[in-house]
Amino acid sequence: MTEMWERFSYYGIRPLLVLYMTAALQAGGFGFDRAQASAIVGIYAASVYLASLPGGWVADRWLGLQRAVFTGGVFIALGHIAIALSAAFEQKAFFLGLVLIVIGTGLLKGNVSALVGGLYPEGGSRQDAGFSIFYMGINTGAFIAPLITGILGERIGWHWGFGAAGAGMLIGLLVFRSQARPRLGENGLLPSANPEEQRRARTISLVGLGACFLVILLAMAGVYTPNPVAIAGNMSTIMLTMSALYFAYLFLFAGLTLDEKKRIAVIVVLFTFSMFFWGAFEQAPTSLNLFARDFTDRTIFGWEMPTSWLQALNSLFVILFAPVLAVVWERLGAKGKNPSSPTKFAIALVLAGLGFWLMIAAADRVVASQGTLKVSAWWLTVSYFLQSVGELCLSPVGLSSMIILSPKRFVGQMMGVWFTSIALGNLFAGLVGGSVDPSQLGAMPELFRRTAYALFIAAAVLAVLIIPIRRMMATKPATAT
């Protein structure tokens, strides 16, 4: 329930962000240009995923999982209050709110997942089932959220939508507060570090938090004016370089055996293709959201549904098709034909590629009408369907591959590697997402074409690599000496 409400709040405001920031001033928005607004969404979403890295560290070293989750929820709720107050204090409060949500989600999302893992210390199929329920919770929250915040935000007032998302987080917080102790018991109550380490971690965390707020204060005081497009570009370069250096360190200096290095090489491959996938998939709140607003006929039974409603489709498809896919994998598994993880990745890339390929045709129609035509909502619906089935082929497999392939002592870090690939995908999706614009129609099919081709090429390259990768994965884990 806690994670369901947290995701409710996250997916409740996410589709509103681009719409709100690009809405004209007289429509209550910021009147930002699309490239800027989209880059901000990219930076925000990427930061949410990246913040899980320090968030996990803080839980292990200082707060323990339970307190980390609760503190995270408090930060998120404060973030929503700041955003709601931005009705009075404008942009400053809005951006402060986003930063608070990033910090809070960093403390909450990864750690609440770890608490679920801790409920089934024996692992195995009960743990898998536990995570399936958890994933259903995530997608239930993500499904209901845009339906509620979309209608409130787009039809009544932006801040009603943001407020509803915040109210969701408050419910989650109350549930956690009242249920955590009786239901979780000792699970995640204490950090794994000794008191000395805890004190050090607390100092480091508070200094880090202070530095964070200093940067915000300076921006608020107008000491510098952040340029979102440049920041998103620089963030991508820095993160790519850091990831490359990290992998180089693992290969050269971490004292790994040859077998371990082979499996890390597989992780590098999966990391790369995961980035491609999320770079396309995470265009949902940016380019595809703008396409839904400006070029999609959203009338049902004579009534125009809010733009954000289309964002609920992804979760709906996940809820409907996760069990179907589970049965398919199981049946194939029974025949000894369960596809390997790189094969599933390649399928995901092809499906997402098809999803964007459809959008080329939809965008071409809009361009042919010089922007006067609104295409049927079926284009986006089928596109989201293909992308969602792709997500189901890639996301769970990616996570578990990180755990299976990683040398034991690096498992935590490999989860971070996975989150980094999602963060990078979000940044790319933010950087390109502003190209859906009535004033430069030609850029739109071009964006979808490039996205689709990049996905198809990635799938083809991965298909060639499947056999060598399978060979590398087949090596037996080295026994400790």
Number of residues engaging ligand GLN in binding (CB under 6 A): 6
Ramachandran angles phi, psi of 286, nearest 5°: -105, -95
Written as one letter, the residue type at 233 is: G
Nearer to ligand GLN by Cβ, of 142 and 405: the residue is: 142
Closest distance of CB 382 from ligand GLN, Å = 19
Closest distance of CB 224 from ligand GLN, Å = 31
Nearer to ligand GLN by Cβ, of 7 and 262: the residue is: 7
How far is Cα of residue 96 from the mean position of the Cα atoms in its chain? 20
422 interacts with ligand GLN by CB under 6 A? yes
User: Of the candidates 138, 167, 348, 458, which one interacts with ligand GLN according to CB under 6 A?
Assistant: 138
Nearer to ligand GLN by Cβ, of 341 and 395: the residue is: 395
Nearer to ligand GLN by Cβ, of 9 and 296: the residue is: 9
Written as one letter, the residue type at 386 is: L
Nearer to ligand GLN by Cβ, of 4 and 354: the residue is: 4
Closest distance of CB 462 from ligand GLN, Å = 19
Nearer to ligand GLN by Cβ, of 392 and 444: the residue is: 392
Closest distance of CB 350 from ligand GLN, Å = 19
**CA–CA dist 90, 391 (Å, integer):** 36
Nearer to ligand GLN by Cβ, of 278 and 385: the residue is: 278
The residues near 409 (Cβ < 8 Å, ≥ 6 apart) are none
Closest distance of CB 139 from ligand GLN, Å = 7
- 304 strand-pairing partners: 299
Nearer to ligand GLN by Cβ, of 10 and 160: the residue is: 10
Binding flags for ligand GLN, 344-383, as an x/- string (CB under 6 A): ----------------------------------------
Closest distance of CB 470 from ligand GLN, Å = 24
Written as one letter, the residue type at 464 is: V
Nearer to ligand GLN by Cβ, of 110 and 445: the residue is: 110
Question: Scanning residues 263 to 282, which ones bind ligand GLN (CB under 6 A)?
Answer: 278
Closest distance of CB 10 from ligand GLN, Å = 7
Contact criterion met (CB below 8 Å) for 79 and 97: yes
User: Of the candidates 2, 6, 7, 102, which one interacts with ligand GLN according to CB under 6 A?
Assistant: 7
Closest distance of CB 103 from ligand GLN, Å = 17
Question: Scanning residues 196 to 255, which ones bind ligand GLN (CB under 6 A)?
Answer: none
Determine the length of the chain.
Answer: 481
290 interacts with ligand GLN by CB under 6 A? no
Nearer to ligand GLN by Cβ, of 154 and 391: the residue is: 391
Q: Give, as one character, the DSSP assignment of residue 286.
A: T
Closest distance of CB 306 from ligand GLN, Å = 20
Question: Scanning residues 96 to 125, which ones bind ligand GLN (CB under 6 A)?
Answer: none
262 interacts with ligand GLN by CB under 6 A? no
Mind giving me the DSSP string for 410-433? GHHHHHHHHHHHHHHHHHHHHHHG
User: Of the candidates 274, 395, 435, 451, which one interacts with ligand GLN according to CB under 6 A?
Assistant: 395
Nearer to ligand GLN by Cβ, of 96 and 417: the residue is: 417
Q: Give, as one character, the DSSP assignment of residue 369.
A: T
Q: Residue 263, class by beta-carbon neighbours within 10 Å (0-12 exposed, 13-18 middle, 19+ buried)?
A: buried
Q: Give, as one character, the DSSP assignment of residue 479.
A: P
Nearer to ligand GLN by Cβ, of 142 and 462: the residue is: 142
Written as one letter, the residue type at 144 is: I
Closest distance of CB 391 from ligand GLN, Å = 7
Closest distance of CB 4 from ligand GLN, Å = 11
Closest distance of CB 9 from ligand GLN, Å = 12
Nearer to ligand GLN by Cβ, of 142 and 402: the residue is: 142
Please count the other Cβ atoms lying within 10 Å of the Cβ belonging to residue 164: 23
State the angle between helix axes of 411-432 and 34-50 in degrees (0 to 180), rounded to the nearest 10. 170
**CA–CA dist 4, 84 (Å, integer):** 21
Contact criterion met (CB below 8 Å) for 472 and 263: yes
Instruction: For residue 377, give both structure tokens.
Output: 């909502």
Closest distance of CB 297 from ligand GLN, Å = 27
Place of tokens 């990180």: 402
Dihedral class, residue 28 (left if φ above 0, else alpha if ψ from -120 to 50, else beta):
left
Mind giving me the DSSP string for 427-447? HHHHHHGGG--GGGTTHHHHH
Whole-Å CA distances, 236 to 46, 51, 181, 422, 450: 10, 15, 40, 12, 19
Query: SS3 string of 25-94?
Result: HHHCCCCCCHHHHHHHHHHHHHHHHHCHHHHHHHHHHHHHHHHHHHHHHHHHHHHHHHHHHHHHHCHHHH
**Which stretches does DSSP call E strand in 358-408?**
375-376
Binding-site ranges for ligand GLN (CB under 6 A): 7, 138, 142, 278, 395, 422
